[in-house]
């Protein structure tokens, strides 16, 4: 009940938080079958929320057992389809025994053809790479087949999640599903040597999961890839609408860029890194962004009219929505030290505070002005989306202004270096 009630609210918030949500190959998730979604885990809890909101079937989640320490929290989490998994450090061997009940619940869920989402890396780290995998997904799959021999199969679907910048407002996220791995294909091996079969199944899932995300081999290349991805995104701007896209090209380009950097030798990497460092340093000196040098959409008369006429309602929307969002940011800034949890906490706090804030406005306006007041508050609520879209066009106008302020010589010099780097992307990485 709570899961069903919360889902549309969280989904509505994502349309504002993310600039673009790419949902790729979700048709690979079998319908009405026992499914385990095996996902990488770059943030504290953003990717399960995205999957729950945008996939067309209810999901059940395995989460850290220490979150269930207090009875109230435990009740809320279970109502949101979350099941506890205890680690040794969560309470010793006594707590580990509680996992048997969770595994039993998973087996029963699979028998009922439900979908369980597992973070197969076992821990959270905000990186663009697949980290070593845990074997829980394979153990649950084989356990379900052992417990219910008549169950046709368990389909483990790799689900790669790649964020542009999960901690930043109006960034993009890409969710890609791989071909399912069938646990029954490894059952014969499991009956001979359980440990080998568990490892084989886990490796098979990992190989497909790696193909569904951006993977940077060497952490030393993280900054280099991020710079290249930023430039490539600026060179291929996507329209604001629709907010949800099935377009595969952006992920394919990002993967190709990471693979190209993975293949560089040390000398090539250092040369490219120097060029990028110089490029972004010169932009910073001039108070410019890389997108100011990229293909900026033309603004026609209608766009200027939109910016002029929409300024007042956009300002009103900003002022109305700002109090809860500013408070949420203050909470995240003061309480959250790790990047893995910063974005999720800021988002959930902003959503929760906004919900309370607008409910209070509805009560006040409804009590004072009746239905007219209620409709006015609902209009202000929807005005937030207009403010977001207005901000996108305002950014385009600002980019044009900053670019126009450069002299032809200065703009030509900056763009020449930028084009050399983009040529490396286009030629060496072959993204087009």
409 against 431, higher pLDDT? 409
The pLDDT of residue 55 is 95
Report which of 380, 372, 283, 369 is spatially closest to residue 324, judged by C-alpha positions: 380
Residues 6 or more apart whose CB falls under 8 angstroms from that of 187 comprise 142, 145, 197
Q: Kindly indicate the confidence band of residue 66, based on its pLDDT and cuts at 50, 70 and 90.
A: confident
The pLDDT of residue 94 is 58
Residue 203 reports pLDDT greater than 50: yes
Segments of 132-253 assigned E as strands: 155-163, 171-177, 181-182, 244-245
Residue 83 reports pLDDT greater than 90: no
Q: What is the DSSP string of 53-96?
A: HHSSS-EEEEEEGGGGSSHHHHHHHHHTTEEEE--GGGTHHHHH
Q: Please give the structure tokens belonging to residue 54.
A: 């945008």
Report which of 220, 211, 155 is spatially closest to residue 182, judged by C-alpha positions: 155
Mean local confidence (pLDDT), 101-116: 92
pLDDT digits (tens, 9 = 90+) for 346-400: 999 999 999 999 999 999 999 999 999 999 999 999 999 999 999 999 999 999 9
pLDDT digits (tens, 9 = 90+) for 118-158: 999 989 999 999 999 999 999 999 999 999 999 999 999 99
Average pLDDT, the chain: 93
Total residues belonging to the chain = 432
Q: Kindly indicate the confidence band of residue 268, based on its pLDDT and cuts at 50, 70 and 90.
A: very high
Residue 99 reports pLDDT greater than 60: yes
- Worst-scoring range by mean pLDDT, 293-297, 327-331, 401-405, 425-429? 425-429
Residue 91 reports pLDDT greater than 80: no
Task: Count CB neighbours of 250 within 10 A.
Answer: 22
Task: Count CB neighbours of 167 within 10 A.
Answer: 21
- In whole angstroms, give the CA distance from residue 71 to residue 319: 38
- Worst-scoring range by mean pLDDT, 92-96, 145-149, 231-235, 333-337? 92-96
Mean local confidence (pLDDT), 179-208: 98
The pLDDT of residue 208 is 98
Residue 93 reports pLDDT greater than 60: no
Q: What is the DSSP string of 401-430?
A: HHHHTS-HHHHHHHHHHHHHHHHHHHHHS-
- What pTM does this model have? 0.93
The pLDDT of residue 388 is 96
Name all domains of the chain by residue range, CATH numbers in brackets.
Answer: 2-213 (3.40.1130.10), 221-288+412-428 (no CATH), 301-405 (no CATH)
The pLDDT of residue 275 is 95
Residue 419 reports pLDDT greater than 80: yes
Residue 162 reports pLDDT greater than 60: yes
The pLDDT of residue 330 is 97
- CA triplet 106, 111, 114: central angle to 5 degrees? 70
- Worst-scoring range by mean pLDDT, 38-42, 203-207, 406-410? 406-410
The pLDDT of residue 90 is 55
- In whole angstroms, give the CA distance from residue 430 to residue 408: 30
Q: Kindly indicate the confidence band of residue 432, based on its pLDDT and cuts at 50, 70 and 90.
A: very low
Mean local confidence (pLDDT), 277-296: 94
Report which of 290, 155, 269 is spatially closest to residue 221, judged by C-alpha positions: 269
Residue 96 reports pLDDT greater than 70: no
Residue 17 reports pLDDT greater than 80: yes
Long-range contact set of residues 226-232: C-beta below 8 Å, sequence gap at least 24: 227/276, 227/279, 227/280, 228/257, 228/261, 228/276, 228/421, 228/425, 229/164, 229/254, 229/257, 230/290, 231/290, 231/294, 231/418, 231/421, 231/422, 231/425, 232/257, 232/422, 232/425, 232/431
* Half-sphere CA count of 322, side-chain side, radius 13 A: 8
Report which of 24, 82, 73 is spatially closest to residue 52, judged by C-alpha positions: 82
425 against 192, higher pLDDT? 192
Report strand pairing: 59-64 vs 35-39.
unpaired
């Amino acid at each position: 009940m709570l899961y069903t009630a919360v889902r549309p609210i969280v989904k509505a918030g994502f349309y504002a938080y993310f600039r673009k949500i790419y949902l790729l190959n979700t048709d690979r998730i079998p319908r009405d079958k026992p499914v385990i979604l095996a996902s990488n885990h770059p943030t504290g809890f953003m990717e399960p929320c995205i999957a729950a909101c945008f996939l067309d079937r209810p999901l059940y989640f395995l989460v850290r057992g220490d979150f269930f320490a207090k009875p109230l929290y435990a009740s809320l989490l279970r109502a949101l389809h979350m099941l506890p998994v205890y680690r040794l450090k969560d309470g010793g061997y006594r707590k580990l025994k509680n996992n048997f009940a969770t595994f039993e619940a998973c087996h029963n869920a699979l028998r009922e053809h439900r979908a369980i989402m597992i973070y197969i890396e076992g821990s959270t780290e905000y990186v663009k790479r697949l980290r070593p995998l845990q074997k829980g997904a394979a153990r649950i799959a084989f356990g379900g087949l052992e417990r219910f021999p008549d169950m046709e199969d368990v389909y483990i679907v790799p689900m790669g999640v790649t964020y542009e910048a999960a901690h930043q407002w109006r960034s993009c996220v890409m969710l890609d599903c791989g071909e399912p791995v069938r646990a029954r294909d490894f059952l014969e091996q499991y009956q001979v040597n359980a440990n080998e079969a568990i490892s084989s199944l886990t490796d098979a899932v990992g190989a497909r999961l790696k193909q569904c995300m951006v993977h940077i081999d060497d952490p030393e290349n993280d900054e280099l890839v991020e710079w290249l991805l930023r430039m490539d995104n600026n060179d291929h701007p996507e329209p604001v609408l629709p907010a949800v896209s099935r377009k595969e090209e952006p992920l394919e380009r990002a993967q190709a860029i990471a693979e190209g950097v993975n293949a560089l030798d040390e000398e090539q990497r250092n040369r490219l890194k120097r060029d990028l460092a110089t490029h972004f340093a010169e932009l910073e000196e001039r108070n410019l962004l890389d997108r100011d040098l990229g293909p900026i959409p033309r603004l026609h008369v209608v766009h200027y009219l939109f910016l002029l006429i929409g300024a007042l309602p956009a300002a009103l929307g900003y002022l109305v929505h700002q109090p809860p969002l500013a408070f949420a940011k203050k909470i995240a800034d003061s309480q959250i030290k790790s990047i893995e949890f910063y974005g999720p906490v800021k988002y959930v706090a902003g959503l929760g505070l906004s919900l309370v804030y607008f409910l209070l406005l509805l009560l006040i306006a409804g009590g004072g002005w009746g239905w007219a007041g209620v409709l006015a508050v609902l209009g202000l609520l929807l005005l937030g989306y207009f403010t977001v879209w207005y901000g996108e066009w305002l950014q385009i106008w600002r980019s044009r202004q900053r670019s126009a302020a450069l002299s032809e010589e200065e703009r030509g010099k900056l763009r020449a270096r930028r084009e050399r780097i983009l040529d490396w992307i286009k030629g060496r990485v072959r993204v087009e």
